[in-house]
Structure 1
Amino acid sequence: MAPKIQTQTNHVERYFESGTALHRVMIEAPYLPRCSDDKTATRVRPREYAIRYPYMQVNRPGFVSWLIFDLDHKKAMIWEDAGLPAPNLIVRNRSTGHSHLYYAIPPVCTTEAARPKPVQYMKAVYEAFAARLEADTSFHSGPVAKTPGHPWWLTHEIHNHVYELGELADYVELASSNPWGKGPNLDAVSHSRHCILFEQLRFYAYSIVNREREKGSYHTFNRLLEAFAHNKNSFRNQGFLDNLPLSSIKATVKSVARWTWDRYTGCGRCHRGVMQLNPALPLHVRQKQSAERTHALRHKETESKVRLACHRLIQLGEKLTQLAIGRLAGLTRQTIAAYKHVIQEVLHPTPVTNLASPGIETINTTCVKYGAHQVTAAEGGLGTFEALRESGGSAECLLKEASMFDVGDADSG
């Protein structure tokens, strides 16, 4: 059941009444917010005076305390139809019917020193809500918004609850982002409105199509793309003479929606990782297999470092101590102690034995340095001997091969 909406008449007093949504707007605003009679908000005033202007800066620089959604349509109660929680405030234009919806959240730091994960999570929640509300996804909560309680607007104060981001995320499906994927290259198509919209729309479609196939339908998928495209159709603010006509938007949405729904599957090779694990496997099984592979690779890499350091110390004529090996390999002494078997392999290499069966007269091709220089046996034994010598075989190999032929018969022939 939706909460009862209460429209206040004297909003200025509510700003100074503790526990109200309007009071939170003032205390979370900057001490000297930007404000004005238009969207430029070129003036700077103390917040007690800024609330008397129709437009003001609501969120502090580097912090987001309010998720504000800009609705460029007349459906101010769309959150009910979309199954979303009630906003704290609805600030509506009396003439056009367009409105701003305010959702109170715990402040999220967005400065350069902020942790990236909470910021990404907040943006994902905002984009998901904006798509369901058919709001402008590029508004990003301001920083300048309609001032709640100003006489220019019709303000509805619903409640003072502060939503956790996880609480809001329960109402929507967050678009899965692909860390290996690339976003639209808008610089290459900055000359064309159609190309800009197409690039933005197709990447948004890629991010939600799998989710809609599983839990939605083509109809809901198409509606989300339509809302996204209409919100992105703000080319007049980007320096173009006019926005795209409605017919062009519909044609682009139809093209992107149909192709993406029928053909797009994503890059499974990249998404499944280098091991190509079956996504049907439970997550803990895939994590275990990936961890085992990572451990094996690190083990081999460490062995290579220890082995290389041992050979280097032998060349320098130094003793193979754990401290010397660790210093040269860039590893700790404790790590070197766990790889004593590698040091023993270097000090006492395993001899290579000839596994050929006795009595079988065959040429030991392993004695030849390069396989490209191996030659077949000629009719005469000395010809084969000379060929082996010219091919680069060792002296020991040449003697072994010479004993396999009757030299006297070769001389007499």
Structure 2
Amino acid sequence: MNSVAEPDVRYFKHGTALHRVLQEAPYIPRCSDNKTATRTRPREYAVRYPYMQINRPGLVSWLIFDLDHANSMVWEDAGLPAPNLIVRNRVSGNSHLYYAITPVCTTEAARDKPIAFMKAVYAAFSIALRADPNFHSGPVAKTPGHPWWSTEELHNSVYELGALADYVDLAVAAPWAKRVKVDDIAHSRHCLLFEYLRHYAYAIVNRERQSGNYDSFVRWLDAKAHDLNRFTQQGFAQDLPVSSLRATIRSIARWTWSNYTGSGRCKRGIMQLDPDLPLPARQSLAAERTHSERQKSTADRIRAACRLLLQRGESLTQIAIGRIAGVTRQTVATYKTLVEQARQSLKTPGTQTAVAAPADVKFATHQVPAVGVAFLQLVPLVRIDGGGGQTAVVPESGQQAEDG
């Protein structure tokens, strides 16, 4: 099959995910018929090649996940939202999943926190999708729509990072980077590698016991160890030799596989699910509970923000509500029924309205039933500062669900 092919007509059709790929790509991206992508062409011509640079330098518009397994529907099994595009290898079944996100600037002038948040979301999704954690959205990926690949376009919506974060536990985004006292071991490459790699092993071992095997577990550790072995960039004279990597991997793999059962700090098993249930079933049930709890908490925060604004005599704008509730304007927009009920309370003083979760949440695995007023009495309360010396009482969020 010729590698240079006519571009898919959807690239030039407004409102499609492929059109967004074209519009957000660099003006002269890298492209080629292999992963090196050594050529550069105008983007209208680069889409004719099977591999191309998707994100612009310094701007991430797509989170792209490299699946080295044939289950391109793993996002559904893990209770994650639908990707915009699934670009699958017709022979091996391996694929790239494309998630369109509100662009995040990654230049030197960009703020650190949005970049760190994006990386945390990406790492957590990589674990849930069993994707390559070191792919980091390319920069070169399979070109959607090219005849070499089978391309499915599921939708053309753009995700907010906060919306994606609702589906994963960011605490597991980089567990291998926690609880490591780097200052105490910064002089030793072996100690640094051991500390980071063992925490990474703790994060994935239960998943590999359920859906993989010992060999796949070792392969994940091997890939991570080679990624961590960049000590020359940290001021050391040289990286660790391959023999040292192998010895550390073997030691960590054997002990973790035989002895590690999980951290007692994690609230696991809160749903008391039958351990004999298949992993996808437990993940789906856990996702259902997590989504329900988070939407209830968000609804109550928005209601408290509306109450505070009404007490001040201010307008119930999405920006004002979002600022007080600590959510984005887009999130407030999905709870438009709740805000309208608050407005109606102005016309009927003394009435107390119930809070309904949004009925038009797109691509959510489960919809959430109406949340009663009594919910505020069932959870711990915290205060949010609305400015001007006024506060509102809202439920404390953060209750974890069974994560399978």
What TM-score do you get using the length of structure 2 for normalisation?
0.52
Q: CA deviation at 1:10?
A: 8.4
Aligned equivalent of 2:219: 230
Matching residue's letter, 1:162: V
**Counterpart check, 1:76 vs 2:65:** no
Q: 1:37 aligns with which of 25, 33, 40?
A: 33
**Counterpart check, 1:165 vs 2:161:** yes
Q: CA deviation at 1:84?
A: 1.1
Q: CA deviation at 1:145?
A: 0.4
Go from structure 1 to structure 2 and tell me whether the alpha carbon gap of 1:49 and 1:174 turns closer, same or farther (over 3 Å shift): same
Q: CA deviation at 1:82?
A: 1.1
**Contact preservation (8 Å) 1:137, 1:228:** no
Q: Please give the secondary structure, in 2, of the residue aligned with 1:233.
A: helix
Q: For residues 183-236 of structure 1, what are the alpha-carbon distances to aligned partners after superposition, in whole Å with 9 as ceiling and x for unaligned? A: 69799557xxxx997544313356x59xxxxxxxx8448559977753453488
**Contact preservation (8 Å) 1:201, 1:256:** no
Unaligned 5+ segments in structure 1 are 1-8, 210-217, 267-281, 286-413
Q: CA deviation at 1:78?
A: 1.1
**Contact preservation (8 Å) 1:134, 1:231:** no
The residue correspondences of 1:6-405 to structure 2 (distance < 5 A) are: 12-175=8-171, 181-182=180-181, 188-189=188-189, 199-204=195-200, 219-220=206-207, 230-234=219-223, 252-256=252-256, 261=261
Q: CA deviation at 1:241?
A: 8.3
Unaligned 5+ segments in structure 2 are 230-238, 267-379, 384-404
Whole-Å separation in 2 of the counterparts to 1:152 and 1:68? 18
Q: CA deviation at 1:96?
A: 1.4
Go from structure 1 to structure 2 and tell me whether the alpha carbon gap of 1:236 and 1:265 turns closer, same or farther (over 3 Å shift): closer
Whole-Å separation in 1 of the counterparts to 2:260 and 2:111? 34
Q: For residues 228-271 of structure 1, what are the alpha-carbon distances to aligned partners after superposition, in whole Å with 9 as ceiling and x for unaligned? A: 753453488989889x99xx9787445235655478879xxxxx
Aligned equivalent of 1:309: none
Matching residue's letter, 1:255: W
Whole-Å separation in 1 of the counterparts to 2:122 and 2:25? 20
Q: CA RMSD in A?
A: 4.0
Whole-Å separation in 1 of the counterparts to 2:181 and 2:98? 32
Whole-Å separation in 1 of the counterparts to 2:222 and 2:40? 31
**Contact preservation (8 Å) 2:51, 2:142:** yes
Q: CA deviation at 1:83?
A: 1.2
Whole-Å separation in 2 of the counterparts to 1:14 and 1:203? 44
Q: Please give the secondary structure, in 1, of the residue aligned with 2:14.
A: coil
Whole-Å separation in 2 of the counterparts to 1:186 and 1:54? 43
Q: Which moved more, 1:72-81 or 1:175-184?
A: 175-184
Whole-Å separation in 2 of the counterparts to 1:97 and 1:124? 27
Q: Which moved more, 1:103-112 or 1:179-188?
A: 179-188
Instruction: Determine which structure has more spread, i.e. the larger CA radius of gyration.
Output: 1
Q: Please give the secondary structure, in 1, of the residue aligned with 2:119.
A: helix
Matching residue's letter, 1:256: T
Q: For residues 96-153 of structure 1, what are the alpha-carbon distances to aligned partners after superposition, in whole Å with 9 as ceiling and x for unaligned? A: 1111000000000111111111111111111111001110000000000010011111
Whole-Å separation in 1 of the counterparts to 2:179 and 2:75? 34
Go from structure 1 to structure 2 and tell me whether the alpha carbon gap of 1:179 and 1:196 turns closer, same or farther (over 3 Å shift): closer
**Contact preservation (8 Å) 1:57, 1:145:** yes
Q: Which moved more, 1:230-239 or 1:84-93?
A: 230-239
Whole-Å separation in 2 of the counterparts to 1:256 and 1:221? 11
Matching residue's letter, 1:93: N
What TM-score do you get using the length of structure 1 for normalisation?
0.51
Q: Which moved more, 1:15-24 or 1:148-157?
A: 148-157
Q: Please give the secondary structure, in 2, of the residue aligned with 1:95.
A: coil
Whole-Å separation in 1 of the counterparts to 2:242 and 2:179? 36
Identity among equivalent pairs (%): 58
Whole-Å separation in 2 of the counterparts to 1:79 and 1:263? 25
